[in-house]
């Protein structure tokens, strides 16, 4: 039994380690430090709208390169933002299916709590449809029983396969966190591309 558990733990840690390689730091020049996720190898990054600032926006890559970032668009209602940096061949995160999440499913939050780079915490899905009383009405959120400390915001919520299923967003009750489901991120990027709010040379993958 111990060997089986060790094997499971090692395999899980390896998958989460793969996801960590695509998590960046986002600095807005006033000491605040949030997280973001590399969505496309050509420098497209997704995060929360509440993480970003309008000036002095920089992204720090896992290899410690600090690059200025351009804000492409943001949606304050769904708390999603898209950034672009001038970089190539970046490690991207596998994308999962948020609509397939089930209550009791194991998930992991990756971010930079209190400045600890690439930290991970785990919990389970409480409700994938955000019908809990303490959840914000009118918002499509994933409820999870893990605690988001400052610095997890904007980082990925990851399933046991190491796939991104949401964006860590907020605490909404005791031991209850909320994440923006990844299907909303896909819709946001699709609209961004279709409304031509991105320069034609800047490829936004969905």
Q: Which residues are catalytic?
A: 50, 79, 153
* CA angle (172, 47, 45) in 5-degree steps: 165
Do the Cβ atoms of 113 and 79 come closer than 8 Å?
no
Instruction: Measure Cα distances from 93 to 21, 46, 80, 142 in Å.
Output: 8, 11, 17, 19
Which helix (H) or strand (E) segment is 15 a member of?
helix 2-20
- How far apart CA 50 and CA 198 sit, in angstroms, is 21
Residues 6 or more apart from 25 whose CB is under 8 A from it? Answer: 33, 34, 35, 36, 59, 60, 112, 117
Task: Give residue for tokens 């840690």.
Answer: 13
Residue corresponding to tokens 């709208």: 49
């Amino acid at each position: 039994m111990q060997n089986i558990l060790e094997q499971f733990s090692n395999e899980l840690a390896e998958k989460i380690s793969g996801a960590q390689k695509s998590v960046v730091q986002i600095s807005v020049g006033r000491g605040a430090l949030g997280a973001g996720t590399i969505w496309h190898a050509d420098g497209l990054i997704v995060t929360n709208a509440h993480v970003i600032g309008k000036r002095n926006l920089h992204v720090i890559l896992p290899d410690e390169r600090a690059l200025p970032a351009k804000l492409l668009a943001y949606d304050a209602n769904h708390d999603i933002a898209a950034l672009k940096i001038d970089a190539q061949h970046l490690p991207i995160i596998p994308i999962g299916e948020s609509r397939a999440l089930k209550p009791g499913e194991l998930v992991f939050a990756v971010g930079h709590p209190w400045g600890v780079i690439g930290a991970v915490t785990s919990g389970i899905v409480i409700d994938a449809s955000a019908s809990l009383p303490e959840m914000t009405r009118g918002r499509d959120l994933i409820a999870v029983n893990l605690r988001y400390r400052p610095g997890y915001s904007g980082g990925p919520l990851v399933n046991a396969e190491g796939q991104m299923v949401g964006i860590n967003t907020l605490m909404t009750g005791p031991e209850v966190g909320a994440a923006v489901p990844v299907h909303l991120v896909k819709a946001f990027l699709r609209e961004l591309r279709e409304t031509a709010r991105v320069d034609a040379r800047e490829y936004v993958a969905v």
